[in-house]
């Protein structure tokens, strides 16, 4: 729900400042609009002589954004805000694996003491 509201507001804001950017006082500037796969529009202002990068990190969600509104770059498989969680999960399963291994070794030892042969 919040996402839809933001998209509408974002497009209104994006449509607005076009005229504003043209009355640059000192250095001539160009405005470039980037589109990310979350339908965010990011209007970035560059100096007129600057070479405009083909992609830009969306300031709203951090995903890569491109100049082509029809073809925004696909979101990476792991989004930035998920990376930490994935890392924590990974760590947790490592810890679990280690404790499972400890249990298995303890079990193996206790069975060996009991005279069982386990391969
Ligand atoms: Zn975005």
Angstrom distance (rounded) from CA 96 to CA 6 = 41
Determine the average pLDDT of the residues in 2-25. Answer: 51
Is 26's pLDDT higher than 60?
A: yes
104 alpha carbon – ligand 1 mean position (Å): 47
Q: With 80 as the cut, is the pLDDT of residue 86 above it? A: no
Q: 103 or 7, which is more confident?
A: 103
CA of 108 to the centre of ligand 1 (A): 53
List the one residue out of 77, 43, 84, 45 whose CA is nearest residue 60: 43
> Which residues are CB-contacts of 43 (< 8 A; sequence separation ≥ 6)?
14, 17, 21, 31, 32, 33, 34
- Specify the pTM: 0.43
pLDDT at residue number 90: 72
d(CA 38, CA 104): 47
- When the pLDDT of each residue in the chain is averaged and rounded to a whole number, the result is 77
Query: What residues sit around ligand 1, an ion, with C-beta below 5 angstroms?
Result: 36, 38, 40, 58, 60-61
């Amino acid at each position: 729900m919040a996402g839809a509201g933001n998209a509408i507001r974002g497009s209104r804001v994006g449509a607005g400042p076009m005229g504003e950017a043209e009355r640059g006082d000192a250095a001539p500037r160009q405005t470039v609009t980037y589109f990310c796969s979350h339908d965010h529009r990011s209007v970035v202002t560059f100096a007129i002589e600057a070479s405009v990068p083909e992609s830009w990190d969306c300031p709203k969600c951090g995903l890569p954004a491109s100049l082509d509104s029809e073809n925004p770059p696909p979101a990476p498989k792991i989004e930035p805000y998920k990376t930490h969680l994935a890392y924590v999960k990974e760590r947790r399963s490592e810890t679990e694996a280690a404790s499972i291994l400890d249990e298995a070794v303890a079990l193996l030892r206790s069975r060996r003491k009991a005279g069982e042969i386990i391969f």
